Amino acid sequence: MILTDLDIFEEMIRTFLKDPDVLLLIGRKAYDIGSVAIEREEYTNIAIRAYKEVLKTFTIKKSPVKYALIQNNIGNSYSQLAEIKDRQENCMKAISAYEDALKVRTLKKYPREYGDTQNSIGIIYSMLSQVKKTEINLMKAITAYEEALKVRKPEKYPLDYAVTQFNLGVTYNNLATIKNKAENCKKAIDMVEKALKIFTLEEYPLRYSGVQNNLGNIYSTLAEVENRVENCEKAIKSYEEALKVRTFERYPVLFAMAQFNLGDTLRLLAEEVSRKENCMKAISAF
């Protein structure tokens, strides 16, 4: 009988059932493969099984640091699984695992790990907001990101700081679609611009393009309620910045997304000024 890669992972779990350190490595490897493989669900479930076996050895009383690490890994795995199926159920499982990790990863004792886990909780609540209690879960995401920023300072952890600021910006923009559109858009812009101080075109071109694309989206949302021409023009400038990196040759799908956003904003601008010219530009972008 020919064994598949998935069969081999299953066999490894059975073989090393009483070796938690090896099981931890198996879980990590399965999780990594699950982030890119076609069989994402299968590999991610293997990672979860391996981690849960490890927890039988590394309890919170005997090995608190490893216990927290494994719970955090379980949270990451359920987060990955939530992208594939049963979003609400798997998001809730991820949150539960992250909260168990925080029983050890306190702000006082393990600040760096505390910040990492809080950022992950923010991501999960943002994901959960897409299927359940949108406003409540977006607010919970914001709270988690703000907790993460108690640790993720720009002078100490600049990349982590920029990631969390960007996440906050996206969350405020999502909140703006529900309530206080102008106020929340302006908060989102402030957060995203802070991220851009780290994610520069020169040092992080792909990140820069993603942040600029999202900044364009925020200005487009703000243009719906105030200063339409000014905010559309700012959105267009952001999309053009994103397109400095998102070229057709290198990133065709990202190029298409930015061009679509650009076209949509030009269409909106055409309702206010230079109708023919902006319609032609919009058509070109589309």
Mean pLDDT of 85-91: 93
Architecture of the structural domain at 154-286: Alpha Horseshoe (1.25)
Per-residue confidence at 242, pLDDT binned at 50, 70, 90? very high
Buried b (16+ CB within 10 A) or exposed e, 175-195: bbeeeebeebbbbbbebbebb
pTM reported for the whole predicted model: 0.87
pLDDT (tens digit, 9 = 90+) per residue, 243-271?
Answer: 999 999 999 999 999 999 999 999 989 98
pLDDT in tens, 172-224: 999 999 999 999 999 999 999 999 999 999 999 999 999 999 999 999 999 99
The per-residue pLDDT for 2 is 61
Going from N- to C-terminal start, the domains of the chain cover 154-286
d(C-alpha 54, C-alpha 40), whole Å: 21
Calculate mean pLDDT across residues 115-135. 94
10 Å CB burial of residue 119 (0-12, 13-18, 19+) is: buried
The band of 129, judged by pLDDT with boundaries at 50, 70 and 90, is very high
Q: Determine the pLDDT at residue 27.
A: 77
- Give me the pLDDT at residue 37, please: 66
H/E element holding 280? Answer: helix 275-285
Contacts of 222 (CB under 8 A, 6+ apart): 176, 181, 182, 185, 186, 189, 231
State how far Cα 223 lies from the chain centre: 25
How large is the average pLDDT for residues 83-101? 95
What are the tens digits of pLDDT across the range 150-168?
999 999 999 999 999 999 9
Single out the residue of 124, 122, 125, 162 nearest to residue 146, CA to CA: 122
Rounded to an integer, what distance in angstroms lies between the CA atom of residue 212 and that of residue 201? 10
Across the chain, mean pLDDT equals 91
Above 90 in pLDDT, residue 43?
Answer: no
- Say which range, 52-61, 99-108, 116-125, has the weakest mean pLDDT: 52-61
